[in-house]
Each structure stands twice: as C-alpha cells, then as structure tokens.
Amino acid sequence: MKMKSLFTLSVICASLVLFSVSAQANDQLAASLCDYVAADDKSRLRKKMKETRIKLRNVFSGISCGGNNLLRHAMANNAEGTGKFIVKKLPKSILASSGDVEWAGSNGHSASPIVAAIKERAGL
C-alpha cells in the first residue's frame, strides 16, 4: 500500500513540474513574440513561429503585450511590417470581431497602414 501511495505521489509531482515548465515556456514564447512585433522584426517572428510550430490564429487570443493583443501592440509601436503580416495570418472573422479598428480610432492610430490592411481583409 505504501508503495502505491508513493508512486501516485511521484506521478502527481512530476505532472506539476511539467505543467510549471510548460507555463514558463509559454510565457517566454509570448514575450518573444511581443518583442519581435515591437521591433518590427517580421523575419524573426516568422522564424519563432516556425520553430515552435504554432499558428498565429491559434495563439492570437491568448497573447497579451502590455494589455494589448498583437495587432494593437504593432499599431502602438508603428510596426507596419509585422502588423500587416499578422493581418494576413488571421481569419477574417477574428479581424472583423476584434474591435481593433475602433480601438485604433480612439487611440490615435486610425491612419495606420495596419488599420487599412484590417479593413481591406475583413471587408469593413
């Protein structure tokens, strides 16, 4: 009985460690993506996504850069290249429902080329 309890406890501890490492890796990945967007480094953004085998449409809603999503972060940092790249990678439905165009208008970014790309792709 003692052996079974010890085994169960070790399995639980191992899974907690794996979850902790996974959460740290996700935080580091999100920080890297935010940094690449802010620096307008489209090639490093693409490379990181390819290395980690992620699709932007799958992680877009889960990444926050200083309280903004990746598109808003790109607009705030005048990162035109990465902003347009993100627009191309996201489905039209996400672009239409995200509220990024309205956010840009109320925060002084309505003249951004990224907003124009969103409007063109989403049909707004």
Residues 45, 55 contacting (CB under 8 angstroms) = no
Pick from 74, 107, 108: which is nearest to 90 by CA? 74
Q: For the ranges 12-21, 56-65, 67-76, 88-97, which has the lowest average pLDDT?
A: 12-21
Query: Using one digit for the tens of pLDDT, what is the confidence trace for 3-20?
Result: 555 444 444 444 444 333
Instruction: Give the list of residues 6+ apart from residue 11 with CB closer than 8 angstroms, or none.
Output: none
Instruction: Give the list of residues 6+ apart from residue 84 with CB closer than 8 angstroms, or none.
Output: 113, 114, 117
Query: Using one digit for the tens of pLDDT, what is the confidence trace for 21-54?
Result: 334 447 788 888 999 999 999 999 999 989 999 8
In degrees and rounded to multiples of 5, residue 93 shows phi and psi of -65, -40
Could you state, in order of their start, the residue ranges of all structural domains in the chain?
A: 27-122
Q: What is the pTM of this model?
A: 0.74
Distance CA 11, CA 46 (A): 37
In degrees and rounded to multiples of 5, residue 70 shows phi and psi of -60, -40
